[in-house]
Amino acid sequence: MLAAADPAPTPTQGRPEGTPEGTIVAAAAGPAPEPSMPELSVPELSVIVPCYNERANVAPLVAHLTSALAGIAWEVIFVDDSSPDGTAAEVLRLGAEDARVRCIRRIGRRGLSSAVIEGALASSAAYIAVMDGDLQHDETRIPPMLAALRAGTADLAVGSRHAAGGDAAGLGSAWRHRISELGIGIAQRFLPVRLADPMSGFFALPRPLFDRLAPRLTGAGFKILLDLLLAGGKGLRVVEVPFVFRPRVAGESKLDVLVVIQFAALLLDKLSGGLLPLRFIAFACVGAFGVLVNLAVLGILTKLAGLGFELSQSLATLVAMLANFELNNRITYRDQRLRGRMLWQGRALFVLVCGIGAVANVGIAGMLYRRHAGWSLAGAAGAAIGVVWNYAVSATLVWRTR
Ligand code: GDD
Ligand code: MN
């Protein structure tokens, strides 16, 4: 931690308070001793770098920052999710030589957005900048971004690939270009402020502003900037600083189909005004898919294998529950995926919880049906209560979210 060192001793030190003048106190004579630690300056800027499997990029990035940020009191906070390639160890190695290099290592967690949030909240600087750890962002653009913030002309400075002078050339494949453009188009439709590149992962803002917006961030997926823009609302003054997105040299991109799905869920979450939390949407979609699995297995067992209906339906329900567990563990709870022994325990608990949910579902639907509610209303009410129960209880018992 970069913290202010002990305050320099004042001339009165060495004489206990209240000692009458003239009293001889040991060691009172002579100049005050030098503090043993050099005073560490508090950085003006913290560069937050989320990283996963970026070992080879850490040292070059620190070297680039060192030259690009000459004249600025800066530090860099790498937020690593215990990458198997030893990224954190590499950061610590550099940090042992240079106190400006800091490391936050998270255990049992994944996610770009939440990594950025935790890194930013750990900063005591006046400003924070967020950039990728794979050398795709141009660190020489940070000083102009910081200048705009210092001048007070903008609340948020965004490194933009799509503003005049910027370029997204480094976006690997054609499908990445298309997805990126599609995402930008959708985002621009409902963003409170106009921005050429709302999907950028490269931006800077004053630390106190981040503090203000942090409680309103969802923290899921890749789209931390989008999340900040939505939380900031109309009043946010944004400036775009063009930059050229470089191709990735070492390591690989973590953006995949699941990230795109998560983006869609983030939009739904925002559009519903937070009424439907991201996880619940994912959980319900997985549940809907589970119904299809249930029906398919039921059909196969009764029609093809010739088993009795009750036995077939019990087996089909079990298969659907297990399939749902796998999907929830990979998608809904991707950021805190259960592994190893926890996986088996989680699977068993999930089946138990959903089993109780199914009993509640059937019980409530049956009760409503007997009271002449009509089969579709009774069925829908039972299913709704089942999914809410399954969600609430599995979130607290199986995946233990806050
Ligand atoms: N701690 C942590 N945890 N870091 C992560 C995780 C994670 O789960 N996933 C990715 N990162 C880190 C990567 O190591 C990298 O430093 C940075 O986040 C960006 O990840 P990439 O996987 O390189 O993303 P990209 O280059 O495909 O996407 C970039 O461009 C997008 C626009 O096309 C990012 O800047 C995105 O934010 C941006 O939207
Ligand atoms: Mn990248």
- The answer to whether 85 and 53 are in contact (CB under 8 A) is yes
**Å from CA of 255 to ligand 1 middle:** 7
The whole-angstrom separation of Cα 187 and Cα 62 is 32
Question: In the structure encoding, which two tokens stand for residue 102, read together?
Answer: 């800091």
**Closest residue CA from atom 28 of ligand 1:** 255
- The answer to whether 400 and 333 are in contact (CB under 8 A) is no
The whole-angstrom separation of Cα 85 and Cα 267 is 33
pLDDT confidence bin for 38, thresholds 50/70/90:
low
Q: What is the pLDDT of residues 121-177, one digit of tens each?
A: 999 999 999 999 999 999 999 999 999 999 999 999 999 988 877 877 777 777 778
Domain 45-251 has CATH 3.30.2130.30: no
**Closest residue CA from atom 33 of ligand 1:** 180
What integer pLDDT is reported at residue 14 of this predicted model? 39
Mean pLDDT of 287-297: 89
What integer pLDDT is reported at residue 186 of this predicted model? 78
What distance lies between CA 338 and its chain's CA centroid? 18
Q: In this prediction, what percent of the chain has a pLDDT beyond 70?
A: 86
The whole-angstrom separation of Cα 321 and Cα 357 is 11
Pocket test for ligand 1, best of 222, 225, 334 (most atoms within 8 A of CB): 222
Q: What atom in ligand 1 is closest to the CA of residue 168?
A: 33
What integer pLDDT is reported at residue 39 of this predicted model? 60
What integer pLDDT is reported at residue 26 of this predicted model? 45
Sequence ranges of the domains in the chain: 45-251, 278-398
pTM of the predicted model, to two decimals? 0.69
Pocket test for ligand 1, best of 254, 263, 335 (most atoms within 8 A of CB): 254
- Mean of per-residue pLDDT scores for the chain: 84
What integer pLDDT is reported at residue 103 of this predicted model? 98
Name beta bridge partners: 127.
45, 206
**Closest residue CA from atom 14 of ligand 1:** 51
- 240 phi/psi in degrees, rounded to 5: -105, 130
Q: What atom in ligand 1 is closest to the CA of residue 49?
A: 16
Closest to 104 in 3D by CA, of 132, 85, 137, 76: 76
Number of H helices, E strands in the chain: 12, 7
| Burial 31-64, CB ≥16 within 10 A → b, else e | eeeeeeeeeeeebbbbbbbbbbbbbebbeebbeb
Q: What atom in ligand 1 is closest to the CA of residue 171?
A: 33
Q: What is the pLDDT of residues 198-213, one digit of tens each?
A: 889 999 999 999 999 9
What integer pLDDT is reported at residue 48 of this predicted model? 98
**Closest residue CA from atom 24 of ligand 1:** 253
What integer pLDDT is reported at residue 18 of this predicted model? 44
Q: What atom in ligand 1 is closest to the CA of residue 255?
A: 27
Residues lining ligand 1, Cβ inside 6 A: 50-52, 54, 79-81, 110-112, 115, 132-134, 136, 171, 180, 199, 201, 222, 253-255
Pocket test for ligand 1, best of 132, 134, 258, 336 (most atoms within 8 A of CB): 132
**Å from CA of 64 to ligand 2 middle:** 16
pLDDT confidence bin for 81, thresholds 50/70/90:
very high
pLDDT at 105 over 50: yes
Mean pLDDT of 67-89: 96
**Å from CA of 133 to ligand 1 middle:** 8
Which residue in the block uniquely carries the two structure tokens 């770098």?
A: 49
Q: What is the pLDDT of residues 326-337, one digit of tens each?
A: 999 998 898 888
What distance lies between CA 32 and its chain's CA centroid? 49
